[in-house]
Amino acid sequence: MNKINRVFLIVMDSVGCGELPDADKYGDKGAHTLLHILEKYPRDLKTLRSMGLGNIVSLPIEPVEKPIASYGKMAELSSGKDTTTGHWEFMGIVLHEPFPTYPNGFPADVIKKFEDAIGAKVLANKPSSGTTILDELGVEHMETGNPIVYTSADSVFQIACHEDIIPIEKLYKWCEIAREQLTGEHAVSRVIARPFIGKAGEFQRTPRRHDYSLEPIEETVLDRLQKKGVPTYGIGKIKDIYTGMGIDHSVSTVSNDDGMAKIDEHLKTVDNGLVFANLVDFDMQYGHRNDPEGYANALQEFDDWLAGFVGKLKDTDLLLITADHGCDPTYPGTDHTREYVPVIAYRKGISGKDLGQRKSFTDLGATVAKIFDVDLPKDGTDFLKSLEE
């Protein structure tokens, strides 16, 4: 069997596949992103079906007798249900305490310290969806120049500013200040720049969002690959999630379509190493906006693209497809949901096998580590043998 030279790891951001046993602790009892979307808006998903998506859990997609890829689902061992927690666990970091969240907004002393540093008062300081907060305070922001600061059920400090009122570089500087200040008990997982444009009733967020994550708290599989000289490529917000740690090369994206195009480009130009991509539209555009139809369409678009991508892979390539959490657009609220995530592993010419229920997302990183012969994460069990027989 030929040695694997390239790994393409694609994260379908938020495409969860059913509640975890502790979902009730997170207020997510009964959540099931994939099932509820496809029940309301059935889609063909021919490629994912052929890879065993319908064999993982019961879906409005028929299981296949001989999947062309190995398939299973992974439980999140960490506490939490956000992007950083999920991605960190992929690469070996398990968080036993969740990042802090602020259901009543940030404490007064946190806000005052930030206001003093930027020389402006903030608007909002409460949990909200990104579109709702713009409808509510976008005009006042434009009249005063004061930034809109808001959070969600996730551990985030989000700053929204109109690009015609606050230049994008100034917004980024404010985010950097917030990131420096939010440490210790208030070390949120991400500070997020949320630029927007438009006028009252027509505000739109722009693609110039930028995430400022905490630096990973320990060495990851990415760091080990980098130390060994195995090239690592981040597509989309991967670099931001790991604060650049362990990432040799990075490109940003503005949409799923752009992300898929960038993956295609890397297929042509990268000879070996890990290509790690996040497709954020599932989560940002459809999950958080309670748009199951848009989500279903995005799944179909990804599936259509995947059919062509798979056909270009070599027998020395491995394709891994997964998700980092759920975001059931049919569930009450607009927040992430605590769910299992699918894992699909495709190698040309290798028959698919049932990978079962994995105890941790770290099994993914363990498999990547095994392929490139670096130390495995302590909580991970690789499934490489299933991909070699």
Shared domain check, 185 and 76:
no
For the residues 358-378, what does the mean pLDDT come to? 97
Q: What per-residue confidence (pLDDT) applies to 278? A: 98
Place 203 in a pLDDT band, splitting at 50, 70 and 90: very high
Q: Which residues of 320-355 are buried (b: 16+ CB within 10 A; e: fewer)?
A: bbbbbbbbbbbbeebbbbbbbbbbbbbbbebebbeb
Based on the fold, state whether residues 240 and 344 are members of the same structural domain.
yes
CA–CA gap between residue 60 and residue 53 (Å, rounded): 10
Helix residue spans in the chain (DSSP H)? 33-40, 46-50, 53-56, 83-90, 108-118, 130-144, 168-181, 221-228, 238-241, 256-269, 281, 292-312, 362-371
Domain that holds residue 174: 108-213
- Interacting residues of 50 by C-beta distance below 8 A, sequence separation 6+: 64, 67, 68, 69
Q: Considering the domain boundaries, does residue 280 fall inside one?
A: yes
The answer on 153 and 131 residing in a single domain is yes
Rounded alpha-carbon distances, angstroms, from residue 136 to 133, 167, 291: 5, 21, 20
As given in the structure block, the two tokens for residue 286 are 């459809």
Query: What's the rounded Cα separation, in Å, for the pair 205 and 310?
Result: 33
Residue 275 to residue 249: CA distance in whole angstroms: 9
Please report whether residue 103 resides in a domain: no
Residues 185 and 322 in one domain: no
- Residue where a domain stops, chosen among 213, 233, 254: 213
If one counts the domains in the chain, the total is: 2
The percent of residues in the chain predicted with pLDDT above 70, rounded, is: 100
Rounded CA-CA distance 382/368 in Å is 8
- Of 178, 213, 248, which closes a domain? 213
pLDDT (0 to 100) of residue 121: 98
343 in the same domain as 242 = yes
* CB distance 258 to 236 below 8 Å: no
In a shared domain, residues 234 and 315:
yes
Q: Are strands 317-322 and 204-205 parallel, antiparallel or unpaired?
A: unpaired
Same structural domain, 383 and 367: yes
Q: Does residue 248 share a domain with residue 159?
A: no
Residue that wins the pLDDT comparison between 388 and 176: 176
Question: Domain check: are 185 and 246 in the same one?
Answer: no
**Phi, psi at residue 273, to the nearest 5°?**
110, -165
Q: Supply the pLDDT for residue 2.
A: 82
What is residue 334's predicted lDDT score, i.e. its pLDDT?
87
pLDDT bracket for residue 160 (50, 70, 90): very high
Is residue 364 assigned to a domain?
yes
Task: Identify whether residues 340 and 242 lie together within a single domain.
Answer: yes
Q: What is the DSSP letter of 261?
A: H
- Is residue 315 a part of any domain in this protein? yes
| Same structural domain, 235 and 291 | yes
Structural domain includes residue 1: no
Last residue of a domain, one of 197, 213, 229: 213
Instruction: Inform me whether the pLDDT recorded for 48 exceeds 70.
Output: yes
- Per-chain mean pLDDT for the chain: 96
Task: Please determine, for residue 1, whether its predicted confidence score (pLDDT) is greater than 80.
Answer: no
Cα distance between residue 160 and residue 260, in whole Å: 27
Average pLDDT over residues 132-152: 96
- The answer as to whether 20 is a domain residue is yes
Q: Is residue 10 part of a domain?
A: yes
Which helix (H) or strand (E) is 150 found in, with range?
strand 148-151
Work out the angle between the directed axes of helices 168-181 and 108-118 (0-180°, nearest 10). 140
Q: Which pLDDT value is given to residue 140?
A: 97
The CA distance from 127 to 270, in Å, is: 42
Which H or E element spans position 192? strand 190-197
Q: Which residue has 């993982």 as its token pair? A: 56
Q: Alpha-carbon distance 49 to 198, whole Å?
A: 40
In a domain, 12, yes or no: yes
The CATH number covering residue 360 comes to 3.40.720.10
What one-letter code names the amino acid at 72? G
For residues 269 and 381, state if they share a domain.
Answer: yes
Task: Read off the pLDDT of each residue in 172-192 and give the average, rounded to a whole number.
Answer: 96
This prediction has a pTM of 0.90
pLDDT at 131: 86
pLDDT tens string 284-335: 999 999 999 999 999 999 999 999 999 999 999 999 999 999 999 999 988 8
62-100 pLDDT, tens digit per residue, is: 999 999 999 999 999 999 999 999 999 999 999 999 899
CATH label of the domain that carries residue 166? 3.30.70.1250
SS3 label, residue 94: coil
> Residue 377 corresponds to which amino acid?
P
